Chain A
């Protein structure tokens, strides 16, 4: 069955960096676009980034442009999110999700990122 497992979350100081990973299994990873979505404490879901199935195109929500980079390694069936210049408002649970027909059809359980001094 499809499985997505995020890792790499933790506590980081403002201005710091963190790299999240999402290990995919149960499907042909290289055939699907992949997303990152986050949920800050007490708020709703926020779409963060999308990478095409072949890694050729990448898209970001405005608030993370220039700071976050989405990437993938199909040889490892793994999705990444490199987060630099982190701010307090980036504190959230980060989910990876598989893209399908304009929706996100499978999700991981999430990994918590806390930006605090």
Chain B
């Protein structure tokens, strides 16, 4: 199972929006609505930000939103804040109870 493809980096100024793509295949992203996104500050536990493509867990700001079209999912962070600077990973269910993560995107707040 190959990793999902994400851009290595994304950036924006405070208050701006940034969108991260996550490209897979019809065997993972395109085949299931079990796409999730995780924020990871180095040295800390990863945090679930979006699940089931576009659902936010309790406590996650509505500045974070998710979507999917075909084999590509996206995470949008609106109104960027300094604390949003982190690594972001997408993940998808990939059949037969396997899961696959994306390559990761480092978000920088300029």
Please report A residues at the B interface, Cβ cutoff 8 Å: 4, 35, 37, 44-47, 50, 57, 59, 61-62, 95, 97, 100-110
Contact = CB atoms under 8 A, between A and B. Distances in A.
B89 interface: yes
Interface string B83-106: 000010101010011111111100
Main secondary structure of the interface of A (DSSP, over half): strand
Contacts, number: 72
A59 B82 CA distance: 38
Nearest to B98: A59
A103 B45 contact: no
A80 B100 CA distance: 21
Given A4-B45, A102-B32, A104-B38, 10 more contacts: A44-B104, A46-B3, A47-B99, A50-B99, A95-B45, A102-B36, A105-B48, A107-B46, A108-B45, A109-B45
B40 A109 contact: no
Contacts of A61: 1, 98
Given A46-B101, A47-B98, A47-B101, A102 B46 contact: no
10 contacts: A37-B46, A45-B46, A45-B101, A45-B104, A57-B97, A101-B34, A101-B52, A103-B91, A105-B57, A109-B44
Given A44-B102, A59-B97, A104 B48 contact: yes
B34 A103 contact: yes
Interface string B31-49: 0111010101000111110
Nearest to B33: A102
B51 interface: yes
B57 to A, nearest CB: 7
Nearest to B105: A44
Given A105-B51, A110-B45, A44 B1 contact: no
Nearest to A110: B45
